[in-house]
């Protein structure tokens, strides 16, 4: 594993573990709605993953609908994913982000493909004015987004990111800069996931290589992170979502015979994994 062997697993009775377990239970008990503006490739998987962890899903492409769901108190968090953009998203996505920020509701950004294309760049630049609460991304996207926002860490070797090519460690300066800028949390997915609030780094080993052989593992983790943000503070939401994913992936890998059966087993495992299994995962800090 690529993380500092000097760091250690947090204690079994660390209060953070209680907060994580409480978040898992709260989602299952209250079925909160996190609304999503997300790409067409994996929109079905995002919705099914949110349902499988116990939440509720509503998808649309409208700033006005975002405001309606926010103001009605129906949606407790917003998820915006930057894949498969259409021209009209140029105004709609920033409007949805603005509405969340004005109402002090958490919102989660997945900057899919950051660095590729003018429309994507324009929308990501607009988000600088109404920054997300949590960023869920891969290493290359963290570096690219730091560059778009003019933050530190952008001078790492970056590339338009649709896959987790760069090592997590190379993205740490960018992740720190992003977390501090948004005053929230950055969750970088990789062989060992990194969750940071800019001060403290948490590394989460485990998960499955099958996650890179199905489409939507990262996108749906973003959606589930928004589901958890309905019931927990950003750091706990990001940790609970990433750990829930890793434990479900472990379970699915044990029975998968290929990427098709892995995806089916993964959704089953999101439903069946216990709060205790999630909260007692290895968490290196």
The residue (of 218 and 234) whose beta carbon lies closer to a second copy is 218
The residue (of 11 and 255) whose beta carbon lies closer to a second copy is 255
Q: CB of 12 within 8 A of CB of 48?
A: no
- Count of residues in contact with a second copy, rule CB under 8 A: 60
d(CA 225, CA 120): 22
State yes or no: residue 209 binds a second copy (CB under 8 A): no
Out of 22, 51, 191, 285, the only residue in the binding site for a second copy (CB under 8 A) is 51
Out of 20, 21, 34, 43, the only residue in the binding site for a second copy (CB under 8 A) is 43
Q: CB of 253 within 8 A of CB of 261?
A: no
Cα separation values, 96 from 23, 28, 40, 89, 148, Å: 25, 26, 18, 10, 20
The stretch among 125-133, 191-199, 210-218, 274-282 that binds a second copy (CB under 8 A) is 210-218
The residue (of 66 and 172) whose beta carbon lies closer to a second copy is 66
d(CA 79, CA 255): 31
Out of 59, 126, 170, 191, the only residue in the binding site for a second copy (CB under 8 A) is 59
The residue (of 190 and 234) whose beta carbon lies closer to a second copy is 190
**Binders of a second copy in range 212-231 (CB under 8 A):** 213-216
State yes or no: residue 240 binds a second copy (CB under 8 A): no
The residue (of 11 and 74) whose beta carbon lies closer to a second copy is 74
State yes or no: residue 278 binds a second copy (CB under 8 A): no
Query: Would you say 216 is a known binding-site residue?
Result: yes
Query: Would you say 59 is a known binding-site residue?
Result: yes
250: buried, middle or exposed (CB in 10 Å: 19+, 13-18, 0-12)?
middle
Out of 29, 88, 102, 129, the only residue in the binding site for a second copy (CB under 8 A) is 88
d(CA 151, CA 185): 15
Least distance to a second copy, CB of residue 180, Å: 30
Query: Would you say 1 is a known binding-site residue?
Result: no
State yes or no: residue 45 binds a second copy (CB under 8 A): yes
State yes or no: residue 254 binds a second copy (CB under 8 A): no
State yes or no: residue 145 binds a second copy (CB under 8 A): no
**Cβ contacts of residue 142 below 8 Å, gap of 6+?**
135, 153, 171, 174, 175, 178, 186, 188
The stretch among 11-19, 85-93, 147-155, 197-205 that binds a second copy (CB under 8 A) is 85-93
Could you tell me how many residues make up the chain? 285
* Residues forming a β-bridge with 202: 195
Site residues for a second copy per CB under 8 A: 33, 39-45, 47-48, 51-52, 56-62, 64-65, 68-69, 72, 74, 83-88, 113, 116-120, 159-160, 162-163, 213-216, 257-261, 263-272
Sequence ranges of the binding site: 59, 136, 189, 216
């Amino acid at each position: 594993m690529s993380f500092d062997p000097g760091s250690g697993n947090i204690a079994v009775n660390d209060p953070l573990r209680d907060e994580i377990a409480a978040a898992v239970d709260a989602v299952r008990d209250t079925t909160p709605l996190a609304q999503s503006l997300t790409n067409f490739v994996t929109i079905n998987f995002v919705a099914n993953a949110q349902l499988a962890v116990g939440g509720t899903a509503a998808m649309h492409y409208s700033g006005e609908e975002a405001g309606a769901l926010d103001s009605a108190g129906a949606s407790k968090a917003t998820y915006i994913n930057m894949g498969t953009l259409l021209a009209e998203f140029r105004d709609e996505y920033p409007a949805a982000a603005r509405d969340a920020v004005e109402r002090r509701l958490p919102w989660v950004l997945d900057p899919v493909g950051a660095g590729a294309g003018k429309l994507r760049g324009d929308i990501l630049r607009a988000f600088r004015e109404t920054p997300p609460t949590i960023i869920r991304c891969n290493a290359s996207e963290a570096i690219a987004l730091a560059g778009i926002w003019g933050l530190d860490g952008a001078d790492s070797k970056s590339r338009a990111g649709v896959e987790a090519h760069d090592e997590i460690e190379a993205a740490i300066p960018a992740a720190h800069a992003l977390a501090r800028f948004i005053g929230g949390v950055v969750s970088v997915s990789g062989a060992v996931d990194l969750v940071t609030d800019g001060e403290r780094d948490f590394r989460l080993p485990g998960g499955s290589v099958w996650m890179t052989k199905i489409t939507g593992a990262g996108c749906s983790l973003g959606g589930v992170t928004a589901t958890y943000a309905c019931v927990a503070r950003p750091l706990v939401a990001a940790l609970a979502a990433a750990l829930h994913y890793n434990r479900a992936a472990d379970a699915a890998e044990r029975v998968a015979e290929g990427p098709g059966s892995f995806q089916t087993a993964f959704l089953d495992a999101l439903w069946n994994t216990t709060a205790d299994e999630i909260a007692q995962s290895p968490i290196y800090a």
